[in-house]
Homo-oligomer: A and B are copies of this chain.
Amino acid sequence: MLIVQKYGGTSVGDLERIASVARKVAAARDAGHQVVVVLSAMSGETDKLLQMAHTMVAHPDEREIDMLLSTGERVTIALLAMKLIEMGYPARSFTGRQVGILTDSAHTRARIERISAERIRASLDAGEIPVVAGFQGIDEKSDVTTLGRGGSDTTAVALAAALKADACEIYTDVEGVYTTDPNLVPHARRLKKISYDEMLEMASLGAKVLHSRSVEFAKKYLVPVRVLSSFKDAPGTLVTKEDAEMEQVVVSAVTYNKNEARVTLMGVPDRPGIAARIFGPIAEARIVVDMIIQNISDGGLTDLSFTLSRSDLIPAMEIIRKTAREIGEREVKVHEHIAKVSIVGVGMRSHSGVAARMFETLAREGINIMMISTSEIKISCVMEAKYTELAVRVLHDAFGLGEEPGAVSEE
């Protein structure tokens, strides 16, 4: 088998852990597999470099940020390759450029456009273990780019796709994907498998296991991705294409995100083009708005609420206040302490009454739902942040997530 193994920052957090990764890689090799390793920087390293940049200047140039940040993974790949070589395994480190990861030029958040992977193929053919720097590539000008937070996941999945690997293993500090955060619900259960679409929803709803762009890649190229613990020997969670078994489970997981804020514009004139006037400048500032809700118009005026990441609140409010003066709405209200609790499951498509059950469950606990948004496979409710833990727990129980689903057997 050809396996791509990706180890995250905590898995290569110090020299001892890198040595332990070397032993895991060697074990896969001893088992007769071809292995390609993708590494992140040591945990904390990227933040340390970013802090240097921000101490140096207020607004660091993004091309230079990428030059700076790309050093972190070069350190870990060199150290792991050395260790493997000393253990008697032919290994060789490669940068994003050396394996031909071509991206667009959107520095600090570049997207992979093409992977040539020639040197990796040659290295594999020569019997070596290629050790690849995650998170980075080069653009057509040959400038160094980085893929944004969690970008090493994307490197691993994209390489697995380019190499037509049999498996892509993402080693992390958790044991897999859970029905919900085990810190909130101790009887949360590790999922044996989950569909790409569910994983995508979960990634965008606040679950931090996989970078959502990596899941998009996996879905597009049908790469089976297994999320595993670097520290425990356990089967983890397989992220794969939807199957009949998955559809029988109505709800697969409950997620939450407490880092949201809500902004309400009161008395907005209800006429065409007003939403564009409000959200255009916000989008231009690269601030992502999550949910948007507009009330029914009352005398030509309406209320408009939206949610966004709390860290974007200050820049967003500057923009909003400016727009508010121009379009003349009455008042801007901010609610900083909200949370979004969501249920996710491909089974929702074929099961009815899921939303009703969610709302009833929350109502029984006296939790007021402030906003609702749905997709085919998820329902999200915005509530006051103080209810988060309670809501997650009661929903986890209401949909029977603590129990082993009868229809799904260990893969």
Interchain CB contact (< 8 A) of A64 among B55, B67, B93, B142? B93
A70 and B59 CA atoms in complex are apart in Å by 26
Across-interface contacts of A64 in B (CB, < 8 A) = 78-79, 81-82, 85, 93
Known: A61-B85, A75-B49. Is A56-B93 also a contact (CB below 8 A)? no
Known: A56-B19, A142-B98. Is A65-B86 also a contact (CB below 8 A)? no
**27 contacting pairs across A/B (C-beta < 8 A):** A15-B55, A15-B56, A18-B56, A19-B56, A49-B75, A52-B75, A53-B78, A53-B82, A56-B82, A57-B82, A57-B86, A58-B86, A59-B86, A60-B82, A61-B86, A63-B93, A64-B81, A64-B82, A64-B85, A65-B82, A67-B77, A67-B81, A67-B93, A68-B79, A71-B71, A95-B144, A98-B143
**Mask: chain A, 73-103; 1 = CB below 8 Å from B; 0 = not:** 0110111011101100000110101100000
Is there an interface contact between A92 and B63, defined as CB atoms closer than 8 Å? Answer: yes
Across-interface contacts of A98 in B (CB, < 8 A) = 142-143
With A61-B82, A61-B85, A71-B71 known, 13 other A-B pairs at CB within 8 A are A18-B56, A49-B75, A53-B78, A53-B79, A56-B79, A60-B82, A60-B86, A61-B86, A65-B82, A68-B79, A71-B75, A97-B97, A98-B142
Is there an interface contact between A67 and B57, defined as CB atoms closer than 8 Å? Answer: no
* Central interface residue in A77, A78, A85, by most chain B CB within 10 Å: A78
Q: How far is the CB of A80 from chain B (nearest CB, A)?
A: 9
Q: Find residues 26-68 in chain A having any chain B CB closer than 8 Å to their own CB.
A: 49, 52-53, 55-61, 63-65, 67-68
Classify the interface of chain A: helix, strand, loop or mixed.
helix
**Mask: chain A, 296-327; 1 = CB below 8 Å from B; 0 = not:** 00000000000000000000000000000000
A68 and B41 CA atoms in complex are apart in Å by 12
Across-interface contacts of A97 in B (CB, < 8 A) = 97
6 smallest A-B Cβ distances: which pairs? A68-B78, A71-B71, A67-B78, A57-B86, A64-B78, A64-B82
A97 and B67 CA atoms in complex are apart in Å by 13
A81 and B53 CA atoms in complex are apart in Å by 11
Interchain CB contact (< 8 A) of A74 among B68, B78, B83, B92? B68
Across-interface contacts of A60 in B (CB, < 8 A) = 82, 86
Residue of chain B at shortest CB distance from A68:
B78
Q: How far is the CB of A58 from chain B (nearest CB, A)?
A: 7
A386 and B235 CA atoms in complex are apart in Å by 67
Across-interface contacts of A55 in B (CB, < 8 A) = 15
A17 and B194 CA atoms in complex are apart in Å by 52
**Mask: chain A, 1-36; 1 = CB below 8 Å from B; 0 = not:** 000000000000001001100000000000000000
Q: How far is the CB of A137 from chain B (nearest CB, A)?
A: 14
A74 and B72 CA atoms in complex are apart in Å by 11
Residue of chain B at shortest CB distance from A61:
B85
A49 and B74 CA atoms in complex are apart in Å by 11
Q: How far is the CB of A99 from chain B (nearest CB, A)?
A: 11
Is there an interface contact between A67 and B74, defined as CB atoms closer than 8 Å? Answer: yes
**Mask: chain A, 134-154; 1 = CB below 8 Å from B; 0 = not:** 000000001110000000000
Across-interface contacts of A56 in B (CB, < 8 A) = 15, 18-19, 79, 82-83
